[in-house]
Amino acid sequence: MNLLAKILDYSLWPGLMLIAGTGLAVGLSLQHGPLAFNLTYLVLAGTLYLLEKARPHEPTWLEADGQEIPDVTHTLVTKVAVQVAVVALANSGITLQWGARSGGPIWPTHWPLPLQVSIALISAEFGLYWAHRIAHEWPALWRFHAVHHSSERLWFLNTGRFHFVDTLKSLILSIPILLGAGAPGDVIVWVSGLTAFIGILTHCNVRMRFGWLNFIFNTPGLHRWHHSKDLREGNKNYGENLVIWDLIFRTYYDDARRRPPAAIGIREAMPPTFYQQVVVPFIWNKYQRKAALKKRVIEASLKVLPGPCPPPT
Ligand SMILES: [Zn+2]
């Protein structure tokens, strides 16, 4: 029984990726890539929702945090718009035009598709890695990325909880690498699809184990460290899909001897509604000052409040 449980732990991540990848491959072969991607993504999201209930990694993260509506709205506003833009770009033939304009397509279009997709993933990952790293290390960009990190639990629904400026910055620093090199539309759809599948798995609250996969892919095990409030752990593991650039630039972090923290989030204040979260990066310092003042007033008033009545004698 123990052996079976162990096999299940280790096979969930690769198994779900294999099923999602097969769904996308079948859709692309039938010339219905975008439809297949959306259907596969929905099935994967539904499966993760059920798995989170059945075998959570962190049971306290199952409790509602009142952020479900902002999570979904950020997802719809940012991710869907971006994915539509990427698919439209890939289908418009602009990729080859860009490649031609930058000195002719240098992309090895005659290589097998899996090899092309691997090269595309590693190349795009370089841009994604730096887009993510500067979002943590530059205060002017952190205030946008803080919307994502303000979540106090990880689960499949907050995968798309990103400020749209944050998402566009990552897109601008990654997709042009592929467009400039003349990557074909199918390769870009594959990279976008795999990024979405790896992304939703990375945030899920499902008990899984990863073994050697932790040295290739950005797994939930690695990403839970990235959401730590302790910046010695949080400012690590910037890879979106792969960890190759974390290993090269020495920002890889894992510690098999202990569990990643359950208490995650940010040190700063974050307003509760979607609209406020979209606005707050633009008024960041003012909002933080007001929030700190409000906190001090509440703490002071709690101190002067009379204690509970003594029991009758
Ligand atoms: Zn981050």
Q: Output the six-digit token pair for 104.
A: 């002719």
59: exposed, middle or buried (Cβ count in 10 Å: 0-12, 13-18, 19+): exposed
- The pLDDT value given to residue 199: 94
Residue 312 in any domain: the answer is: no
Cβ–Cβ < 8 Å for 196, 120: no
Q: What is the DSSP letter of 310?
A: P
Cα 237 to Cα 223: distance, rounded to the nearest angstrom: 7
Mean pLDDT by 10-residue block, N- to C-terminus, for the chain (313 residues)?
A: 87 96 92 87 96 96 94 87 66 52 68 93 95 96 97 93 90 85 86 93 96 96 95 94 97 93 94 96 96 90 70 62
Q: What is the CA radius of gyration of the chain?
A: 22
Going from the Cα of 232 to the center of ligand 1, the distance in angstroms, rounded, reads 13
Going from the Cα of 116 to the center of ligand 1, the distance in angstroms, rounded, reads 27
Give the Cα-Cα-Cα angle 222, 227, 228 (nearest 5 degrees): 100
Residue 74 in any domain: the answer is: yes
Residue 305 in any domain: the answer is: no
Looking at this protein, which amino acid is placed at residue 125? Answer: E
Residue 66 in any domain: the answer is: yes
Residue 311 in any domain: the answer is: no
- The pLDDT value given to residue 88: 65
Determine the structural domain holding residue 121 and report its residue range.
2-298
Number of domains the chain is built from: 1
216: exposed, middle or buried (Cβ count in 10 Å: 0-12, 13-18, 19+): middle
- Which residue reads 């569990």 in tokens? 259
- The pLDDT value given to residue 101: 46
Cβ–Cβ < 8 Å for 213, 251: no
Going from the Cα of 132 to the center of ligand 1, the distance in angstroms, rounded, reads 6
Going from the Cα of 144 to the center of ligand 1, the distance in angstroms, rounded, reads 10
Going from the Cα of 227 to the center of ligand 1, the distance in angstroms, rounded, reads 7
Cβ–Cβ < 8 Å for 61, 155: yes
Residue 155 in any domain: the answer is: yes
Going from the Cα of 146 to the center of ligand 1, the distance in angstroms, rounded, reads 8
Closest CA to 156 of 17, 36, 237, 41: 41
Give the Cα-Cα-Cα angle 65, 202, 33 (nearest 5 degrees): 110
Residue 306 in any domain: the answer is: no
- Other beta carbons within 10 angstroms of residue 109's beta carbon come to 14
Alpha helices by DSSP H, the chain? 2-29, 33-54, 68-74, 81-91, 94-101, 113-137, 139-149, 164-172, 175-180, 185-203, 220-226, 231-234, 244-248, 274-279, 284-304
Going from the Cα of 51 to the center of ligand 1, the distance in angstroms, rounded, reads 24
Residue 304 in any domain: the answer is: no
